Amino acid sequence: MKKPGSLLLYIFILIFSATAQGVENAKLDSYVEALAKHDKAMLSLAIVENGTLIYHKSTGVKDLETKQPANEATQYRIGSITKMFTSVMIFQLIEESKLSLDTTLDQFYPNIENADKITVSMLLSHRSGIPNFTDSPQYSQYMTQSHTEAEMINKIKKLDSEFLPGSKAKYSNSGYVLLGFILENVTNDSYASQLEKRISNKLGLKRTAYGGPINVQDNQANSYVRAGFDWSPASQTDMSIPHGAGAIISTPADVSMFLSGLFSGKLISAPSLSKMKEINQGFGRGLFQYRFNDRTAYGHDGGIDGFSSQAAYFEADKVAISLTSNAMNYSINEIGIAILSIYFDLPYDIPDFNDKPVSLPQEKLVNYEGVYSSPQIPLKISLKVNDGRLMAQASGQGAFPLTPYSDSKFHFDAAGIVLIFKTNDGEVDHSVFELNQAGGKYIFSRE
């Protein structure tokens, strides 16, 4: 349920490049197993071609306490990937003439600010002006507690509009929570029941449902966050909170089959799908668009508690690739690059995860301080020591810690960033470094 790109954006937005050649199963296996072996991620990956599952791989455990391994049927919380499902069901209601894109919010919740100006289309495309309730400082205080529709509406109602509806776009979980409630009001049925009837049963998705308290015995995964050198249990959001914005549990195989079914016309009409795909200021109606050289993919990412997920459909290739994780100590960005590179038979070397962090004293770290710029990208990066750690901050972004792997190499694994300082005869030149991220290499010099 995190914002789009919460794991995809630190210094720039990821752009994949790919040329389709086919699947190298053994190399995919080796890569995923390497991630697990070196405690980088516990995950499940599925690839569907032409409606047929052609690849699946799971690593790690669904529960650390009992050491039960994850498998193809293990369910993960998929976070904001839920929004694609919600959008599809709203378009189904539109096709049934029970709603329209121009239906205004005041027909359901007149007490929300600008409700008479906010349309279903604006809610779908993040153009309502309703703030994202998960950004509220109070969110962490109630996220694990069950809430009724009335209680959630009351929380959203208290938020002041950020802009005139339709004038801008800004990601908002609030809008999709409202869409989930609208679905229930129009159908006089629960979101869970509508999901089953409108999507799961139509596509034969056996492991896709509205989530509840995690039940490991029903092959559902707990999630974890990194705490030092160990995994620690993550919080467990009550699923009444994300609702239509992020409450679905599923498997990567089911998510890939959902995308395949959506783009093959099994859920909504071609005109409705075209409306979902219309991109305005970075947002479609429940879909993001990703470009890969001459290819275009549509999909969504997701994050909730310790869960991370990505899903994309390549129309020209009729291929859906979905990834779910319940523990991530690496850049999901970098994992996505690796999977696509291997799948599309691009040159790709599996990283050497045997590298170990080292400790550098503060008197050494201060030598790296300064403001660095590159002629290749319009961005400045400031390096500064704070409380014994070297911190990096790109212009317009938050600061993040760099972990030294040698005198000349620093990592920020959460975003797949590696800084390599130039060396001369074994001596580090603190004035120049190469930034590696998402397959790109950029030279930065101290000003």
DSSP, residue by residue, 267-302: SS-HHHHHHHH--BTTB-SS-EEEEETTEEEEEEEE
Kindly tell me if the per-residue pLDDT of 22 is higher than 50. Answer: no
246-279 pLDDT per residue, tens: 999 999 999 999 999 999 999 999 999 999 999 9
CA distance 435 to 427: 19
pLDDT at site 441 = 86
> Which domains can be identified in the chain, with CATH numbers?
1-354 (3.40.710.10), 362-446 (2.40.128.50)
Identity at 414, one-letter amino acid code:
A
Decide: 150 and 131 in contact? Cβ < 8 Å.
no
Least confident residue range of 115-129, 258-272, 314-328, 354-368:
354-368
At residue 64 the predicted structure's pLDDT band, cuts being 50, 70 and 90, is very high
CA distance 291 to 12: 14
CA distance 444 to 447: 9
Q: Which residue has the higher pLDDT, 412 or 392?
A: 392
Kindly tell me if the per-residue pLDDT of 4 is higher than 60. Answer: no
78-88 pLDDT per residue, tens: 999 999 999 99
Kindly tell me if the per-residue pLDDT of 385 is higher than 50. Answer: yes
